[in-house]
Amino acid sequence: MSDDRWNRYLFERHDRQEIAQWARRLRYFRFCRAVGGHANDGDELLLAIALQAEVGLVDVCAGLGIVLDAVAPGSPQPGPGVAYTAEAYQGFASIVPGTKGIRQPGHIQLAGQPVYVHARANRLEISLSDPDAPYEVREATIRSAEQVETLLAPLAGRLIDPPRTSRHCVCPAFYPEMWN
């Protein structure tokens, strides 16, 4: 995609000045523009925290006040290549990879703000979007992120920047001019 076309897409909903202002206001979260098209994703604010095995996940979540739930051993899980109805699939617990049955945190509250938390084998991702328009980031989303960031200072050395290695992620690595 040409730079002109990319810039039209990146700044379609929020102009360069507004996104730069957000970038300077937020210490840890990064604005990530949706991939779009058939990806069914939305714009979001995202951060990632490096983890080291299950113990790291438990420690980081405890420090943030995230309660982790265990999934009972032998709980049903979807099988590869098997078709399920949406209702049947909702019955399966989403388990953090590399753990002995820890349920994904999912949609929770941090610092009184609605966030989505997803753990991978080596990282914990926290994302925010507008609760009333979940494919959007708005000023209220920025204010929510500022509240969540108050919990993150002790973890600053573990943050992964950029949280997504892509030009879709507005971060110093891809858009250094926004921090000037």
Burial of 158 (0-12, 13-18, 19+ CB in 10 A): middle
Task: Give domain status of residue 159, yes or no.
Answer: yes
Task: Give domain status of residue 163, yes or no.
Answer: yes
The boundaries of the domain holding residue 147 are: 13-68+105-179
Task: Give domain status of residue 4, yes or no.
Answer: no
Task: Give domain status of residue 75, yes or no.
Answer: no
Task: Give domain status of residue 140, yes or no.
Answer: yes
Rounded-to-integer distance, Cα 28 and Cα 125, Å: 12
What would the pLDDT profile of 147-166 be if each residue is shown by its tens digit? 999 999 999 999 999 999 99
Task: Give domain status of residue 8, yes or no.
Answer: no
The model's pTM is: 0.91
- Domain count along the chain: 1
| Run means of pLDDT, 10 residues per run, the chain, 180 residues | 85 93 96 83 96 88 95 88 92 89 95 96 94 92 97 95 95 93
Tell me how long the chain is: 180
